[in-house]
């Protein structure tokens, strides 16, 4: 009987030790409740003895691992966020605020762009067409001398200023709103279009120079003095050089006006050559010089028509790419 009671005491002590040890172990994060029809039984989950990090104990995104896991600043200790680092955190950026700011700035720019649609062509008309068509040539052009050459060049310089202002306004209206989207029009300039423009401009520049050499050597009869030749062809050559430079800059900057710039200059060039034909009688130009100016007018009208065909083809290509 005494042995039986002693063994029962040992069993009870072992049970108490195991319960005390289980109370010191980490408990499960939750309790499982089991319900029955008569009563609710409460069951404890078995303790987790794994040494791996649980999913909620992984390293935080702004932790510092340079301290090597010290007691004060461990591997998973959260450091204060610097003010410069907040710019890189997505939670501090609100896309809705950015969209509202962009839309409000675009709405504020709409009246300015609408005014440019009327102001740009008006400047082009006032600087190019009005002086050529309605300004009397007699008081402007004193004769085949340096003063006459400078007066004609001055008219072309006034047009060039108006053309530059027009192209700048057209660039401001035609450039896309987003700077990240490289301009779809400016980034697809075909090579054949560049070669065609450069070739046509170079040929139109070389032909008058080839006429200048026989005239200076007295091969063409009657001979045209150098001053008269420069009055008729000097402004033409100068403005053609400016046009070639402008086209190359629009290609380099990928401006949306690369398709419009040659049309602006070529339309004025027809008027410029027509003015030269009317001035031929003032400088007593021979018949071969007048015929040369007439052929140049026909040549540039042909080039202007080809440029308009390019505009139509690129517009159709843009529509097909969007569809």
pLDDT in tens, 292-323: 999 999 999 999 999 999 998 888 877 676 66
Query: Does 95 reside within a domain?
Result: no
Q: What is the mean pLDDT of residues 221-240?
A: 89
Q: What is the pTM of this model?
A: 0.65
Rounded to a whole number, what is the largest CA-CA distance in the chain?
A: 155
Q: How many domains does the chain have?
A: 1
pLDDT at 40: 46
Query: Does 249 reside within a domain?
Result: yes
pLDDT at 12: 59
pLDDT at 158: 94
Query: Does 66 reside within a domain?
Result: no
pLDDT level of residue 100 (50, 70, 90 thresholds): low
Share of the chain above pLDDT 90, in %: 34
Query: Does 35 reside within a domain?
Result: no
Domain membership of residue 131 as a residue range: 119-176+190-322
pLDDT at 87: 53
pLDDT in tens, 178-191: 544 444 444 578 99
In SS3 terms, the chain reads as CHHHHHHHHHHHHHHHHHHHHHHHCCCCCCCEEEECCCCEEEECCCCCCCCCCCHHHCCCCCECCCCCCCCCCCCCCECCCCCCHHHHCHHHCCHHHHHHHHHHHHHHHHHHHHHHHHHHHHHHHHHHHHHHHHCCHHHHCCCCCHHHHHHHHHHHHHHHHHHHHHHHHHHHHHCCCCCCCCCCCCCCCCHHHHHHHHHHHHHHHHHHHHHHHHHHCCCCCCCCCHHHHHHHHHHHHHHHHHHHHHHHHHHHHCCCCCCCHHHHHHHHHHHHHHHHHHHCCCCCCCHHHHHHHHHHHHHHHHHHHHHHHHHHHHHHHHHHHHC
Query: Does 82 reside within a domain?
Result: no
Residue 220 clears pLDDT 90, i.e. is over it: no
Query: Does 43 reside within a domain?
Result: no
pLDDT at 162: 96
pLDDT in tens, 262-295: 999 999 999 999 999 988 888 888 898 999 999 9
Q: How far apart are CA 150 and CA 142, in angstroms?
A: 10
pLDDT in tens, 125-174: 999 888 887 877 767 777 778 888 888 999 999 999 999 999 999 998 88
pLDDT at 37: 44
Query: Does 104 reside within a domain?
Result: no
Q: What is the mean pLDDT of residues 30-35?
A: 43
| Separation of CA 77 from chain center | 45
Residues 6+ apart with CB under 8 A from 226: 215, 216
Q: Which residue has the higher pLDDT, 262 or 64?
A: 262
Query: Does 147 reside within a domain?
Result: yes
Share of the chain above pLDDT 70, in %: 60
């Amino acid at each position: 009987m005494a042995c039986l009671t002693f063994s029962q005491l040992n069993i009870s002590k072992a049970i108490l030790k195991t319960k005390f040890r289980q109370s010191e172990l980490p408990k499960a994060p939750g309790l499982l409740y089991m319900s029955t029809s008569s009563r609710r039984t409460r069951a404890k989950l078995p303790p987790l003895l794994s040494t791996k990090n649980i999913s909620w104990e992984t390293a935080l995104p702004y932790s510092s691992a340079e301290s090597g896991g010290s007691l004060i600043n461990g591997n998973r200790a959260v450091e204060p966020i610097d003010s410069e680092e907040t710019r890189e955190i997505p939670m501090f950026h609100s896309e809705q605020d950015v969209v509202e700011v962009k839309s409000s700035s675009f709405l504020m720019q709409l009246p300015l762009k609408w005014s440019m649609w009327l102001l740009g062509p008006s400047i082009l008309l006032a600087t190019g067409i009005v002086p050529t068509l309605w300004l009397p040539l007699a008081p402007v052009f004193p004769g085949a001398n340096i003063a006459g050459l400078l007066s004609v060049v001055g008219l072309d310089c006034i047009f060039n200023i108006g053309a530059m202002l027009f192209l700048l306004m057209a660039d401001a209206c035609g450039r896309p709103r987003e700077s990240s989207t490289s301009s779809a029009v400016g980034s697809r300039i075909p090579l054949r279009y560049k070669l065609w423009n450069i070739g046509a401009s170079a040929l139109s520049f070389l032909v008058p120079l080839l006429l200048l050499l026989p005239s200076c050597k007295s091969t063409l009869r009657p001979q045209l003095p150098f001053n008269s030749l420069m009055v008729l062809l000097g402004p033409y050559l100068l403005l053609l050089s400016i046009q070639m430079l402008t086209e190359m800059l629009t290609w380099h900057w990928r401006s949306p006006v690369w398709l419009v710039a040659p049309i602006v200059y070529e339309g004025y060039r027809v008027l410029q050559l027509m003015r030269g034909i009317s001035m031929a009688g003032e400088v007593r130009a021979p018949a071969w010089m007048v015929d040369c100016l007439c052929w140049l007018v026909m040549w540039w009208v042909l080039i202007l028509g080809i440029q308009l065909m390019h505009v139509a083809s690129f517009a159709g290509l843009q529509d097909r790419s969007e569809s």
